[in-house]
């Protein structure tokens, strides 16, 4: 049975079970690793198994009998095929909590896990950014912007690169923080005899799969083709001391930050003025136009538009702006054509009508505004080499 009212999410036992399952997968990955199991299991995992079994019994379906079997369900069975009742928009046809190829948690998993936002662990990525903002504020915008750019451009650091980072004068105030959020790379990411490989597009470490294949944890990179493009190979001798950002920061800070930098470049080419990461936690992109109009932009790279919609809130006017938008990478809308509609359907009334736009629509609107500011009609050639009739 599928319920139609989005408000059913708060009372639906199926939604509660999905959140519990996501928490179990995260706990198992963080505590034991998903490729090895040690008793006793984390309490989150045992509770998820018990509640899944109960849901199955209610539907007279055969339940998973163990944690390994539950994880097999998470990997091989789309959430739409689980014997649970869910509201409309709760799951899409191919949604899984574990990737079929790698067996690792999908981006969707942590979105379900963080969505309640009711524990410090779930708010970790926000707390890190806010702590850095408070610490850097007294020294002006440059240290904070340097910190944010580091997380986007260098999610992986060799020992030599790490030394350069911690001796950078702009990063002095966040040196201790960096030591806690950059973590030693687990052995599973090191291929014997070859070392580690970085994804060409996102800079994250690729996961070895099978004898010779690699897998990228980022949805956008996997949308480009079945095989990730390898950027840098980090030899075995450099893997000692190799560190990477923790998983929540890679997913919720580094990845949308890549889209933000691409959007910054596009808006700047068009002629807009862009200030990245102003000294505020209200929004990360300030965009100014020649007529004085100001946009506030925030990039949100989420797989689940309904979960994202339920987090929507009015953008605080600090600094002031004329219009505020959340922006989603275009590949999300391509992969799920109803993405924008689902987001707006689940946006709460208190969000002040916040609009979500694909990045190409942001560039289109910016170009129209800049043309209007220059006195050019839509579609006119602003190169000074107009086309004359023959």
The DSSP line for 163-186 is HHHHT-GGGGGGHHHHHHHEEEPP
Q: β-pairing, 243-245 with 156-157?
A: antiparallel
* Interior angle at CA 28, CA 24 and CA 33, nearest 5: 155
For the purposes of burial, counting CB atoms within 10 Å of the CB of 369, is it exposed (0-12), middle (13-18) or buried (19 or more)? buried
Please check the confidence at residue 290 and state whether its pLDDT lies above 80: yes
Helix (H, G, I), strand (E, B) or coil at 148: helix
CB within 8 Å of 249: residues ≥ 6 apart: 124, 125, 128, 151, 155, 181
The string of pLDDT tens digits covering residues 152-180 is 999 999 999 999 999 999 999 999 999 99
Q: What is the pLDDT of residue 42?
A: 77
pLDDT for the residue 36: 52
Give me the pLDDT at residue 387, please. 37
Task: Share the mean pLDDT of the chain.
Answer: 91
Confidence of residue 379 (pLDDT cuts 50, 70, 90): low
pLDDT over 90 for what percent of the chain? 82
Listing from the earlier edge strand, what are the strands of the sheet with 156-157?
156-157, 243-245, 182-184
What pLDDT, on a 0 to 100 scale, did the predictor assign at position 1? 38
Is the model's pLDDT at 381 over the cut of 60? no
Q: Which helix (H) or strand (E) holds 149?
A: helix 141-153
Instruction: Please give the pLDDT value at position 226.
Output: 84
pLDDT band for 29, please (50, 70, 90 cuts): confident
**The pLDDT of residue 262 is above 70:** yes
Greatest C-alpha distance within the chain: 82
Q: Under a CB-based contact definition with an 8 Å cutoff, are residues 235 and 252 in contact?
A: no
How remote is the C-alpha of 164 from its chain's centroid?
A: 27
Give the whole-angstrom CA distance, residue 118 versus residue 16: 14
Residue 320: alpha-carbon gap to chain centroid: 26
Beta-carbon contacts of residue 350 (< 8 Å; ≥ 6 apart): 313, 314
Chain-centroid distance, C-alpha 335 = 15
Q: For 195-247, write each residue's pLDDT tens digit.
A: 999 999 999 999 999 888 999 999 999 999 888 999 999 999 999 999 999 99
């Amino acid at each position: 049975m599928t319920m139609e009212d989005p408000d059913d999410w708060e009372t639906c036992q199926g939604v509660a079970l999905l959140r519990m399952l996501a928490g179990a997968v995260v706990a198992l990955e963080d505590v034991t690793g998903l490729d090895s199991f040690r008793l006793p299991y984390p309490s989150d995992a045992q509770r998820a198994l018990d509640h899944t079994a109960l849901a199955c019994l209610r539907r007279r379906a055969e339940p998973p009998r163990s944690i390994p079997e539950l994880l097999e369900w998470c990997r091989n069975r789309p959430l739409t095929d689980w014997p649970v009742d869910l509201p409309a928009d709760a799951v899409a046809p191919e949604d899984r909590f574990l990737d079929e190829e790698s067996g690792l948690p999908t981006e969707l998993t942590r979105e379900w896990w963080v969505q309640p936002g009711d524990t410090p662990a779930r708010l970790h990525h926000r707390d890190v950014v806010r702590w850095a903002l408070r610490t850097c504020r007294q020294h002006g915008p440059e240290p904070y912007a340097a910190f944010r750019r580091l997380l986007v451009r260098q999610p992986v650091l060799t020992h030599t690169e790490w030394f350069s980072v911690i001796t950078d004068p702009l990063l002095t105030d966040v040196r201790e923080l960096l030591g806690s959020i950059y973590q030693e790379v687990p052995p599973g990411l090191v291929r014997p005899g070859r070392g580690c490989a970085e994804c060409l597009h996102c800079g994250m470490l690729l996961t070895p799969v099978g004898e010779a294949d690699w897998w990228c944890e980022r949805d956008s990179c996997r949308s480009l083709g079945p095989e990730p493009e390898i950027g840098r190979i980090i030899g075995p001798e450099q893997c000692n001391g190799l560190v990477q950002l923790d998983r929540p920061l890679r997913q919720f800070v580094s990845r949308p930050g890549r889209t933000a930098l691409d959007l910054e470049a596009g808006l700047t080419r068009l002629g807009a003025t862009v200030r990245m990461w102003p000294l505020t936690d209200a929004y990360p992109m300030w965009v100014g136009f020649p007529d004085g109009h100001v946009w506030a932009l925030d990039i949100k790279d989420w797989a689940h538009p309904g979960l994202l919609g339920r987090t929507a809130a009015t953008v605080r006017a600090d600094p002031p702006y004329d219009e505020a938008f959340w922006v989603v990478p275009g590949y999300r809308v391509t992969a799920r054509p109803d993405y924008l509609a689902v987001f707006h359907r689940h946006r709460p009334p208190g969000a002040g009508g916040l609009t979500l736009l694909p990045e190409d629509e942001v560039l289109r609107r910016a170009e129209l505004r800049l043309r209007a500011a220059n006195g050019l009609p839509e579609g006119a050639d602003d190169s000074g080499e107009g086309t004359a009739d023959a």
